[in-house]
Amino acid sequence: MKVVSTSRSHGGIQGVYSHVSEVCACDMTFAVFVPPQAKDRPLPVVWYLSGLTCTHANVMDKGEYRRLASELGLVVVCPDTSPRGPDVPDEKDNWQFGCGAGFYLDATQEPYTKNYRMYSYIAEELPALVAANFPVDMSRQAIFGHSMGGHGALTIALQNPERFKSCSAFAPIVQPSTAGWSRPAFEKYLGPDEKSWRTYDATLLIEDGRRFAEFLVDQGTADGFLEEGLRPWLLEEACKKARIDLTLNMREGYDHSYNFISTFMDDHLRWHARRLG
C-alpha cells in the first residue's frame, strides 16, 4: 500500500492510498479518514460507496463527513467506483458503463472479467487491506453510499448481513436490473441471462429471500433521476413484503448532488454510530 497524501482535518487524518489490486488487476486508489480517537483504541469502520462518474475524491471533497466522524470516532473508507488504467476496457463516452461505473458486481462476460470485479474488491480484498493497515475494529462495520453506491451498499449488505451492523443509502438505485441507466451495463457485464443479475439487485435479492435488519434511505424529491432511475417505492414495496424495517425519508426540494448528501450526512453517521455501539 502506498500513501498518496495525508492531511490533518477535524483533529484526524484524511489520507489517500493506492495499492496493486489482485482482484481488479490494476492499481486502485481509496481514501480513509481516521479520527483522533484512534490513538486510544481500534475504531468502527463506515464504508461509503460512491455513484456513477465518481472516484474516491468526490465524497472526500464534498461529503462533509469528517466533523461528525471525528466527534463519533468513526473511520470512514471511501473506495473508487471501478477499476481504472490504460489496460482496463472502457467506453470513454459512456458515463454509465466501464470506468466510473463498476456497479459493485463481478463481471462474467469478456473482456470485463479480468478487471471488473468490484463486488469481490469491496467484499473481500479492500477490507483485508484496511484491517491490516488501519486502527480498525472489523467486528463493527457499517456501509452506505449514493446512487450507484447506494445500490452497492444495499446489495453488499444483503449479501453479507453478518458483516455489517447497519446499512443506509442516499438516493440509491434500488432496482438496477430494470432501470434505463443500468440495464445496458448489467447486460454487458453479466450477459443476457437476467437470472444472473438478481444477486446484484437489492429488490430482487430481497424477493429471493435475502434479509437485512433495517435500512435508512434519504431521497430528494427534486432529484432528476427519481422517476426513471431510482424509484425508492420499489424498495419500499420489497421491504414491506419481506418485513424489513425501512426508514424512507423523502426530502422536499433536494436534488441528486452532494448538496443533498452533505445535508443529511450527519443523520446517516449518527444512525450508523448508534448501531455500531
The residues annotated with a catalytic role in the active site are 147, 223, 256
262 is an interface residue for a copy of itself by CB under 8 A = yes
Looking at 62, 114, 188, 198, which residue binds a copy of itself (CB under 8 A)? 62
Tell me if residue 223 falls in helix, strand or coil.
coil
Looking at 3, 20, 128, 222, which residue binds a copy of itself (CB under 8 A)? 222
113 is an interface residue for a copy of itself by CB under 8 A = no
Bridge-based pairing of strands 2-9 and 12-21 is antiparallel
State the nearest-atom distance from the C-beta of 257 to a copy of itself, in Å. 6
Which CB sits closer to a copy of itself, 104 or 225?
225
Which CB sits closer to a copy of itself, 97 or 258?
258
39 is an interface residue for a copy of itself by CB under 8 A = no
Rg, the chain, Cα only: 17
What number of chain residues touch a copy of itself (CB under 8 A)? Answer: 23
Alpha carbons within 13 A on the beta-carbon side of 38: 21
CA distance 6 to 124: 25
Which CB sits closer to a copy of itself, 58 or 177?
58
Of 50, 71, 65, nearest to 263 by C-alpha is 65
State the nearest-atom distance from the C-beta of 67 to a copy of itself, in Å. 7
> Does residue 145 contact residue 51 with C-beta atoms inside 8 Å?
yes
What share of residues in the chain are helix, strand, coil (percent, to 5)? 35, 25, 35
266 is an interface residue for a copy of itself by CB under 8 A = yes
180 is an interface residue for a copy of itself by CB under 8 A = no
259 is an interface residue for a copy of itself by CB under 8 A = yes
14 is an interface residue for a copy of itself by CB under 8 A = yes
Which CB sits closer to a copy of itself, 199 or 257?
257
> Does residue 30 contact residue 55 with C-beta atoms inside 8 Å?
no
253 is an interface residue for a copy of itself by CB under 8 A = yes
220 is an interface residue for a copy of itself by CB under 8 A = yes
State the nearest-atom distance from the C-beta of 7 to a copy of itself, in Å. 4
66 is an interface residue for a copy of itself by CB under 8 A = yes
* Residue 153: C-alpha distances to residues 27, 86, 150, 168 (Å): 23, 28, 5, 7
> Does residue 225 contact residue 181 with C-beta atoms inside 8 Å?
yes
* Residue 118: C-alpha distances to residues 23, 80, 266 (Å): 8, 9, 27
53 is an interface residue for a copy of itself by CB under 8 A = no
> Does residue 215 contact residue 202 with C-beta atoms inside 8 Å?
no
Q: Which residues bind a copy of itself (CB under 8 A)?
A: 7-11, 14, 61-62, 64, 66-67, 220, 222, 253-255, 257-260, 262-263, 266
